[in-house]
Amino acid sequence: MRSRRHRLLATFLAALFVFAAGFGLAGAPSAAATGATPVRIMPLGDSITGSPGCWRSLLWNQLQNAGYTDIDFVGTLSAQSCALTHDADNEGHGGFLATATADQDLLPGWLAATEPDIVVMHFGTNDVWSSIAPDTILAAYTKLVGQMRASNPAMKVLVGQLIPINPSSCAECAARTVAFNQRIPAWAHGITTAQSPVTVVDQWTGFDTATDTYDGVHPNASGDAKMAARWYPALGAMLTPGDPGDPGDPGSGGCSAAFRAVSAWQGGYQGEVTVTNASSTTAISSWAVALALPAGSQLTQVWNGALTGTTVRDAGWNGAVKAGASTTFGFLASTSAAAGTPSVTATCSAS
């Protein structure tokens, strides 16, 4: 493992290279540019992560708005066409298989070039599509984690259970994904260590290929919001209170969102979300809440907010929220489920 001084020098030189080449960040300054020592996070996977993988832009902004400002997304690939400004560096290689990446020893070069502290991995969709056996994919996972630890013995790894896929050319892919996902928790339990924990993030539950993808495989805006909402708490838990911008600090910026089911009936429900300024000292001027809805659920009406996909932004007049204060918005949603209390995850970002 390289020394901290070497890492700082490498980070500085990399920042100069990005500036000179004119690519890498989609308009957002990384923590490396501030002179701080950032926590370096590598998003690793295939096209779901990198082409364009706009869940990364949502996740970046959620972290920034919660006060995690000294972070640096890293990877040998760079900007894609996502609407939100973000640190776009990533290792999401379209069409790649986790098994081939392991067999060809591609990861060590990417690790050496970027030196991550944390890897956020959603990898294996193309392997499942190619009918590769779960044992073979998990053996590749084991090799990849070993390569991560060779790069950094204290590597922290988030492994996503794969989002559902249902491509028109693969009738068996949906069932294969379920079968593979069921194997991941036991594998992770067997390989995790105190120094280098492997944490499983459930990206499958509540994700609907009919409403959350544009082709049965790749996330649309709704799917991106759901993926970011699942990564966020798991990644935030790895950014310890010693890291700058811990959202548990009552003086940090950002906002929180709390969902409440007002009523439910056969075929629909009414919800209310309370947006709270998490800072005890600083007002926010605008907010946005990404809603991860139950499978088969769709927003039909929103008040006191502006709806884009499954993200509700302030209505303008209620964007400014004083330190510690709250505001609310409401919505109606249809559902294919039986009447009952819906499970909705609300993730807030603010500026």
Residues 31 and 69 sit within 8 Å (Cβ to Cβ): yes
Give me the sign of the Cα torsion angle 154, 158, 159, 165.
negative
CB atoms within 10 A of CB 341: 9
Spatial contact of 310 and 318, defined as CB atoms under 8 Å apart = no
Residue 207's DSSP bridge partners are none
Give mean pLDDT in consecutive 10-residue pieces for the chain, a chain of 351 residues.
41 38 43 65 96 91 82 89 87 96 98 97 97 97 98 96 92 94 94 93 90 91 89 81 36 72 86 86 86 85 86 87 89 79 84 76
Cα separation of 309 and 302, whole Å?
12
The residue among 223, 202, 228 whose CA lies nearest residue 213 is 223
Say if CB 41 and CB 32 are below 8 A apart.
no
Nearest-10 Cα torsion for 289, 293, 299, 305: -10
CA distance 235 to 242: 14
CB within 8 Å of 274: residues ≥ 6 apart: 257, 258, 260, 326, 327, 328
Looking at residue 25, what is its pLDDT?
45
**pTM, 2 dp:** 0.64
Strands (E), the chain: 39-45, 71-73, 91-92, 118-122, 156-161, 198-202, 255-265, 268-277, 287-292, 298-303, 306-308, 311-313, 326-334, 345-350
- Token readout for 166 is 């249902």
Q: Can you tell me the distance from the alpha carbon of 39 to that of 41, in angstroms, rounded to the nearest whole number?
A: 6
Give the other-Cβ count within 10 Å of 329's Cβ. Answer: 23
* Alpha carbon 94 to chain centroid, angstroms: 17
The separation between the first and the last C-alpha atoms of the chain, rounded to the nearest angstrom, is: 37
CA distance 284 to 280: 11
